[in-house]
Structure 1
């Protein structure tokens, strides 16, 4: 089976959806603008540096959503998609997904952003299979701010993809994988793929890709 795996943020969309959700919740008055922005930017810098504490970040980034409750969160989620996410879709990224569909490949998004933020994005991109950070739920089925299971972050992406394959009766030996990512944080999964593609790469991943002779794809550059 041929599988095309895609990171999401800065790979298929030219922004970080988790960071953007935080900015959006501030814009609609759910958080204090100055305090939230300082913490959100600090966590994003940690992510870029490869030092992010993912459990702490998920507690932080889901707090306002959890407090507001499911009804308000669902309405905000729709606004976020309409006003922030869909306008950011790029034809080059949509075309890449379509090429793999036409080739008969199985598509999946593998992201370190939580499922609440990313499920609507995956759906809008036409990708059914989403491997994202799963959120623990309380007795009423609402999010608690904690992570359920292994977070799909760094080495955890390899673990989660292995679980996803096993659920379909597959393992690494029975598949051929393309994996597209922008981030050095995804090096463990890039190393597992037969066709790793550094996509809109950060500086560290671009250097690594050049060293390993991996292809470098720039989806968000306007054609000449």
Structure 2
């Protein structure tokens, strides 16, 4: 049997939502109108929390500034985003949790509904090579188009994308032992599939479900550092 540790990212390993934070960062560096973008960004975030988000519409919105600026400017801005926003938000408790699974010999995988442009450098900063994120479609010039490539890794899509990953790695559900850490009710489909679901910094609805089902609850960011 192969032991696999799965981690959601935002509000699970990070105490922030990286997608929303990236949007706020693009406002701060003058890439978009703060009032209009901020209101829409907040509205989309509220829809995500409520489980009503149209992820295709959101990704077109969230990647617009990046698409218009081009790959060089986007990469430069993301390096600054990592330095100023993300790295200070990576807490010791999150690193230690990942490291415990690494020391146990588990395969470690981040699976997130945030797109790969935002999250690939974050996974690297956490020392996690394997990442399932929303794939961004690319045009003939190799740059992102604003569309999603394939099934988005959100809600039931996380199960689909994880099963794709299993197949690509010669694995199947009956040959693995899985632990999945997530904060969000949106991740209930995958939490219900894994061997060991862990409600991590859970939102109120997920906390209630976890209590009713006897799932482990981990308030990672309330631990003493």
SS at match of 2:133: strand
Aligned: 1:110 with 2:111: yes
Residues 91-112 of structure 1 show CA distances to partners (whole Å, capped at 9, x for unaligned) of 0010000000000000000000
- Distance in 2 (CA, whole Å) between partners of 1:222 and 1:33 is 35
Aligned: 1:209 with 2:210: yes
Trace 1:1-224 onto structure 2 (pairs within 5 A): 1-223=2-224
- Distance in 1 (CA, whole Å) between partners of 2:185 and 2:10 is 13
- Distance in 1 (CA, whole Å) between partners of 2:75 and 2:46 is 28
State the shift of 1:74 in Å: 0.5
- Distance in 1 (CA, whole Å) between partners of 2:70 and 2:140 is 14
- Distance in 2 (CA, whole Å) between partners of 1:66 and 1:222 is 39
State the shift of 1:140 in Å: 1.1
Q: TM-score, normalised by structure 2?
A: 0.99
- Distance in 2 (CA, whole Å) between partners of 1:99 and 1:222 is 16
Q: TM-score, normalised by structure 1?
A: 0.99
- Distance in 2 (CA, whole Å) between partners of 1:140 and 1:174 is 41
State the shift of 1:183 in Å: 0.0
User: Would the aligned equivalents of 2:132 and 2:153 in 1 still touch at CA under 8 Å?
Assistant: yes
- Distance in 1 (CA, whole Å) between partners of 2:196 and 2:164 is 20
Residues 182-217 of structure 1 show CA distances to partners (whole Å, capped at 9, x for unaligned) of 000000000011000000000000000000000100
SS at match of 1:139: coil
In structure 1, the gaps of 5 or more residues are: none
SS at match of 1:52: coil
- Distance in 1 (CA, whole Å) between partners of 2:144 and 2:174 is 36
State the shift of 1:222 in Å: 4.3
State the shift of 1:223 in Å: 2.1
- Distance in 2 (CA, whole Å) between partners of 1:167 and 1:74 is 29
SS at match of 1:13: coil
State the shift of 1:221 in Å: 1.0
